Amino acid sequence: DDATLHDQVLWAIHVSGMEDLLLYLASSENERQFAFHVLEIISLMFREQNPEQLAKAGAFRTQAERKEEQDELAKIREMEKINKKSAVRKQSSRHSRFGGTYVLSNMKSISERNVIYHKGVEKVNNLSFDQDKKPKKIGKNRQPIKDAPLVRRSTLSIRLFLKEFCIQFLENCYNPLMHAVKDTLLRAKAQGNDETYYLWAMRFFMEFQRRHQFRIDTVGETLSVPTFHYIQTNMITYYEMMLT
C-alpha cells in the first residue's frame, strides 16, 4: 500500500472538494452535455483499482481473511529472501579480468569439434550464442496486444474516499447518467470509441454494487432490456469486425 502520484492527485481532488462537483455534474439534468467528460474523469480516477477491494475497504475482516493476508505477506517476504540469496551467490567476490575459455564436451560446432566458449558460464542452461545479437525491432502496430490488467491497491485513506464516492455515485448519479450516455451513443452523437467509457462504468460499478450491498435499484438502468439489446448489438458488430 504505497501512495503514488496518482493517489496524490486523488487526495488533492478529495481535499479540494472536486468530487462534489463531479457528482453534481453527473446528477444534474441541465449538465448532460458534460456526461462523457464526467465519465472519462471518473474512469481515470478509478484506474488500476479493483472494485472488490474498494467495496471491502474499512470493513471488518474475519480471522480467516486476516490469516490469508498474513500468509500471502509471508510468501512474498520468503520469495524476496530467496531472490536476494540467489543474487548474492551469483556475484563473485573476486573480479577476474580474464573470463577464461571453456571447451564444451558433447556439443559439436560447425567444424564437428567441441564448442569453445569464451565467457564464464554459471549454469549450462544459461549458455547462449545470441547474447550480442540485437533483436529485430517490431513496430507498435504489429506488437501483440497486452491484455494483462494492471491492478494495484492504494492506501487505506484513498480506498475509503473512492468507496464513499462510489456509494454516492450509485445512489444519486448512476442511473440518470448512464441513461443519458446510452441515449447519446444510440443517436450517434458521441465521438469514436466513446462507448468504452460506458462499458467500463457498467462493469466497474455493477461489480462494486454486487460486492457492497447488492441493491438492484441503484443499477436498474443497465439491467433494462434496451441496455441488453445495445450490448448484444455491439458484441455482434465487434465480432464481425474481428472476422473481416
**Residue 243: φ, ψ to 5°:** -80, -25
pLDDT at 184 exceeding the cut of 80: yes
Q: Which of 77-81, 123-127, 137-141, 149-153 has the lowest mean pLDDT?
A: 123-127
> Which of 37-41, 62-66, 180-184 is predicted least confidently?
62-66
59 falls within a domain: yes
Is 128 within the bounds of a domain?
A: no
* Residue 47 within any structural domain of the chain: yes
User: Which residue has better confidence, 86 or 172?
Assistant: 172
SS3 content of the chain, % helix, strand, coil (to 5): 60, 5, 35
- Asked whether the beta carbons of 22 and 42 are under 8 A apart, the reply is yes
Encode pLDDT of 201-221 as tens digits.
Answer: 999 999 999 988 888 888 888
Burial class of residue 53 in the structure, from the number of CB atoms within 10 Å of its CB (0-12 exposed, 13-18 middle, 19+ buried):
middle
Instruction: Look at residue 132 and tell me if it is in a domain.
Output: no
- Whether 234 is in a domain gets the answer yes
Number of domains forming the structure of the chain? 1
| Identity of the highest mean pLDDT range in 79-88, 151-160, 185-194, 222-231 | 222-231
Spatial distance between the Cα atoms of 108 and 87, rounded to a whole number of angstroms = 32
Give the separation between CA 216 and CA 155, rounded to whole angstroms.
29
Q: Give the range among 10-24, 111-125, 139-153 with minimum mean pLDDT.
A: 111-125
Q: From CA 160, how far away is CA 210, in angstroms rounded?
A: 17
Q: Does residue 216 belong to any structural domain of this protein?
A: yes
Question: Which residue range(s) make up the domain with 197?
Answer: 5-64+154-243
Is 110 within a domain?
no
Better-predicted residue by pLDDT, 119 or 224: 224
In a domain, 127, yes or no: no
Is the pLDDT at 85 greater than 90? The verdict is no
Nearest alpha carbon to residue 23 among 216, 157, 174, 158: 174
Confidence check: pLDDT of 92 > 60: no
Beta-carbon-side half-sphere exposure of residue 164 (alpha carbons within 13 Å): 9
Q: Distances from the Cα of 15 to the Cαs of 6, 18, 39, in angstroms?
A: 14, 8, 21
